[in-house]
Structure 1
Amino acid sequence: MGITVQNITGNTAMVIWPKMASCTDSFYSVMYHPNWNSMLSTYSRKSFQKEERVPSSRSSFVVENLTPLTTYIVCVTCQSANPSSDQCRVFNTLERDSASTRSTKKELALGIWLTSSVLLLIITAILLYGCLHLLCRRRRERLQEQNGTFELDHGKVWTKSVAYTSEELSRQRQMMQDTEEKHPGGIQLATIIENTSACKEPIMTTSKSQELMPTTGQCSAIN
């Protein structure tokens, strides 16, 4: 049949076959299996590990996901036929190519970097939330302490004012009681003394024919 295998790498290989005029099916079956020497000589379709269906309009197919440094057997048949020896080829995959290795390493490094970045962002967000919550709580406690101190000071001032007013009223009341006890009728006595003093003063007349004489009749009447 003239099957050939080209562009072999550590993970892929291109299988090429000529079109079969006698194949009237709508697709080709591309079958491949590793460790071909463990297969039976009959090449039964059930013995192959993988089978891919390719439209009959195509004459090539790229086999992927192969294992590096492994011997494979690949066969191409019509849809319902079991492969024969002339429809199969054996090939060996190569080592993992450096480009694929670098790509895998880059993907791994990128995945690690993305995971680390996401974790770092989450940790930063948690720490920031905790700091903001702590600051808000401390500020609220400080405001509550200030309000409590202001109310306490205001209460002390009001208490002192009331106490001072009460003490002053008590002192004045006590002074009044002491004064009344020591001088009962002191107000009347002071009034009489003032009136007596006023009466002792002589009343001067301006008449030329009379001498200056004190008039004490009114004072005696008052007394």
Structure 2
Amino acid sequence: MGIIVQNITGNTAMVIWPKMASCADSFYSVMYHPNWNNMLSSYSRKSFQKEERVPTSRSSFVVENLTPLTTYIVCVTCQSANPSSDQCRVFNTLEQDPASASNTKKELALGIWLTSSVLLLIIAAILLYGCLHLLCRRRRERLQGQNGTSEQDHRKVWTKSTAHVSQEFSSQGQLTQDIEEKHPGGIQLATIIENPSACKEPVMLTSKSLERVPTTEQCSAIN
């Protein structure tokens, strides 16, 4: 079985093999391992570091993530069988490709940039939330202060109105007292007339004044 290894770089290599009739209904196993000099010569399947399964429709495979300046052995078998010497090939990887190294650095820098951007976005979101929370709190406190001032104003107005009403009642009471002091007979007469128990007799009206004057016989209690 002729296995060919080509397009070798510091990290990749392409393995090509002829199709096998016995693998028509199965798959190919591509096994490879670094430092071939340290492997046992028994070609045991368990001795290989990596193993890839390839569909029977393909007859080539690109081995990736290799170490530069390293000796590798690669074997291709049918359906995970233990390989033989004619199913394997030894090759050496090249130095690190400058373009690959540059791409690796770019990918690393891009990953760092993305991570930093995500962290900055998270920090900005936290700061924005804190500012909005603080603004809402200050606005709530301001509204509460305005409501408290309005309540105090209402209380002052109500107190002034109550004091004014009380003052009016006091004035009326003083005026009534003054009238009683000036006209004691008139107040007594009105009280006697309005009290039905004081006089039960009818009231006589004079023709001159048409005033309600009790007769001598009506109320003896007046004297």
Q: TM range, normalised to the smaller chain?
A: 0.5 to 0.7
Conserved in 2, the CA contact under 8 Å of 1:76 and 1:83?
Answer: no
Letter in 2 for 1:165: V
Query: In the TM superposition, what is the alpha-carbon distance from 1:13 to its structure 2 partner?
Result: 0.8
Aligned twin of 2:210: none
SS at 1:105 equivalent:
helix
Query: In the TM superposition, what is the alpha-carbon distance from 1:147 to its structure 2 partner?
Result: 1.9
Q: How does 1:147-186 map to 2 (within 5 A)?
A: 147-178=147-178, 180-181=180-181, 183-184=182-183
Query: In the TM superposition, what is the alpha-carbon distance from 1:36 to its structure 2 partner?
Result: 0.8
Aligned twin of 1:110: 110
Letter in 2 for 1:13: A
Aligned twin of 2:84: 83
Query: In the comparison of the two structures, how many residue pairs are matched?
Result: 183
Query: In the TM superposition, what is the alpha-carbon distance from 1:185 to its structure 2 partner?
Result: 6.5
Q: TM-score, normalised by structure 2?
A: 0.66
Q: TM-score, normalised by structure 1?
A: 0.66
Structure-2 separation of matches of 1:41 and 1:73? 12
Flag the 1:92–1:150 CA change in 2: closer, same or farther, 3 A. same
1:43 aligns with 2:43: yes
Structure-2 separation of matches of 1:142 and 1:81? 82
Query: In the TM superposition, what is the alpha-carbon distance from 1:35 to its structure 2 partner?
Result: 1.0
Flag the 1:123–1:91 CA change in 2: closer, same or farther, 3 A. same
Letter in 1 for 2:84: P
Between the aligned residues of both structures, percent identity stands at 80
Structure-1 separation of matches of 2:143 and 2:82? 89
Structure-1 separation of matches of 2:110 and 2:12? 24
Look at both structures and tell me which one has the larger radius of gyration over its CA atoms: 1
Aligned twin of 1:71: 71
SS at 1:110 equivalent:
helix
Gapped regions of structure 2 (runs ≥ 5): 187-223
Conserved in 2, the CA contact under 8 Å of 1:73 and 1:89?
Answer: yes
Gapped regions of structure 1 (runs ≥ 5): 188-223
Aligned twin of 1:126: 126
Conserved in 1, the CA contact under 8 Å of 2:75 and 2:87?
Answer: yes
Structure-1 separation of matches of 2:56 and 2:176? 132
Letter in 2 for 1:153: D
Q: How does 1:203-218 map to 2 (within 5 A)?
A: none
Structure-2 separation of matches of 1:165 and 1:16? 112
